[in-house]
Structure 1
């Protein structure tokens, strides 16, 4: 005998509400990170990518300070400091690679390659989070990697070694996504943002010192804006991952690609090549299918929990 219909309905509504909030947060995150990429490119006319990364983190921390004032120092209490440090070490290398790619590749191409991250997230979620991935999703992952190869075109005369830097950033970003998912099980989203921004500032200062040049004029506006958009994107991202599955939500941020493509065309007169467009379409289809399958799995899990033997005995 199943549980009361109103109990099942209420549980399903709560699950759908949480899913919609998670999706909304990830959409906002994508928009913020798209704007950050544009600010990085604007600042790169004067500054090295490593220095831009430092200023993004410095001003990102400044914009995160209201969170600390709101919650108080108690929010920094944690027994996961070693995980934070490890996550930030990987994250800063990923950031440096990603910023370097944004500066040295066409903007849409650099951002599109970064969206191979969900493919790696799916693999790592199986290895480290114990998530179940079946044949059809593995097929989608394989298709996504074909899309990456279409964009990078290894062996072709037009192959750019900087695409390997972008791919490295994507792999490391997937590790970061998994670590945030682990942290979000016990840590508050704002605590994750604060610890990350605090640790990133000194970690990014070291490589920046080797290429240091003081910014002037409008460059100050670009790096301040990069810090704001980066912190805002990070806040939305952690909230999304707190409420939804990593391999389901990450593909949603793919909408950053068309936003960046339009802005790059408008501001930098960049056009999207056919290879990038085809590769992006393949990666999007692969990520969309992964998200679809994850949603189905999550829905079945909620239904099974609602009609479990414990529920039936009520």
Structure 2
């Protein structure tokens, strides 16, 4: 889990750095291009992984990845406009949106724990965004829209994991997203990667996949009710790093709102665990970002 926390933080810092020299589509093209190369290299080393790769659910993959690409665009834009801690705190609403979408489109039932998560998520958003006050930041709506998009991604991923492997889902993600992002970029943008932004570029290219891998391994190694609480450490970690690197002030209101959102999510997770004590959560959320 420590690897996932560091990877998510490195990804955000790398995106913020690259945003000064590259367009959002160029950053996404670099991230998905690196991801595609790494996935193909892994597949070449272990050809058996390609057995689960097929065209059976290509339309669902297309829905998932088009929504995910739009959500990534908004998230990346928000990274350039908002304090990093605010972005991470609002992003914690993704499970709440996922729950709502799963009820509407997958026929899952609404439980007391899920309803608590939705209410706490909305309350936490209001605390952070502070609508109507002078401190309101319209760019926060980008993160909320991205969180809804990630919720759609999570919901479709839950459907895909019933038939497709994690390798196939991530490979399809990079295959579909890279051409779109690259088509909207300067074809030679990668030549502008130099000494000043090489570390940031490597962070974005590698952390985009390592965060998924580390979170998956953590969830496979331990019960989600024990692993997921550590994910909240992303908020203070990125807040401290942003304070050190960019001089962003530490906002206690963001921490309060993030804690409220996370508290609802944790309550729901533990309620689900009590209802289904023998169920191990595979949690495809690691594929959302």
TM-score between both structures, scaled by the size of structure 2: 0.84
Whether 1:208 and 2:172 are equivalent positions in the alignment is no
Q: Which residue of 1 aligns with 2:128?
A: 151
Map residues 91-130 of structure 1 onto 2, 5 A cutoff.
Answer: 91-130=68-107
**Which structure 2 segments of 5+ residues have no match?**
281-289
Pairwise CA distance, 1:230: 0.4
Structure 1 range deviating more: 152-161 or 123-132:
123-132
Whether 1:65 and 2:43 are equivalent positions in the alignment is no
Q: For the Cα contact (< 8 Å) 1:251–1:287, is it kept in 2?
A: no
Whether 1:189 and 2:137 are equivalent positions in the alignment is no
Write the distance in 2 (CA, Å) between the matches of 1:244 and 1:275: 32
Change in 2 beyond 3 A, CA 1:75/1:142 = same
Number of aligned residue pairs: 277
Change in 2 beyond 3 A, CA 1:30/1:175 = farther
Write the distance in 2 (CA, Å) between the matches of 1:245 and 1:125: 22
Structure 1 range deviating more: 185-194 or 247-256:
247-256
Q: For the Cα contact (< 8 Å) 1:55–1:227, is it kept in 2?
A: yes
Whether 1:292 and 2:270 are equivalent positions in the alignment is yes
- 1:218 partner SS: coil
Deviation digits for residues 24-80 of structure 1 (CA, Å, limit 9, x no counterpart): 5xx644442222111111222322333212211111222222222133244422411
Q: For the Cα contact (< 8 Å) 1:147–1:279, is it kept in 2?
A: yes
Write the distance in 2 (CA, Å) between the matches of 1:100 and 1:186: 33
Change in 2 beyond 3 A, CA 1:300/1:246 = closer
Q: Which residue of 1 aligns with 2:284?
A: none
- Structure with max Cα Rg: 1
**Which structure 1 segments of 5+ residues have no match?**
1-23, 303-314
- 1:156 partner SS: coil
Write the distance in 2 (CA, Å) between the matches of 1:136 and 1:74: 38
Q: For the Cα contact (< 8 Å) 2:120–2:264, is it kept in 1?
A: yes
Write the distance in 2 (CA, Å) between the matches of 1:241 and 1:178: 18
Q: For the Cα contact (< 8 Å) 1:94–1:173, is it kept in 2?
A: yes
- 1:216 partner SS: coil
TM-score between both structures, scaled by the size of structure 1: 0.78
Write the distance in 2 (CA, Å) between the matches of 1:50 and 1:219: 17
Q: For the Cα contact (< 8 Å) 1:150–1:278, is it kept in 2?
A: yes
Whether 1:48 and 2:29 are equivalent positions in the alignment is no
Match of 1:264 among 242, 245, 252: 242
Write the distance in 1 (CA, Å) between the matches of 2:43 and 2:279: 36
Q: For the Cα contact (< 8 Å) 1:140–1:289, is it kept in 2?
A: yes
Pairwise CA distance, 1:279: 0.8
Change in 2 beyond 3 A, CA 1:35/1:201 = same
Pairwise CA distance, 1:249: 7.8
Change in 2 beyond 3 A, CA 1:188/1:241 = farther
Q: Which residue of 1 aligns with 2:66?
A: 89
Q: Which residue of 2 aligns with 1:226?
A: 204
Change in 2 beyond 3 A, CA 1:247/1:144 = farther
Q: For the Cα contact (< 8 Å) 1:97–1:169, is it kept in 2?
A: yes
Pairwise CA distance, 1:291: 1.3
Write the distance in 2 (CA, Å) between the matches of 1:248 and 1:133: 23
Write the distance in 2 (CA, Å) between the matches of 1:207 and 1:276: 34
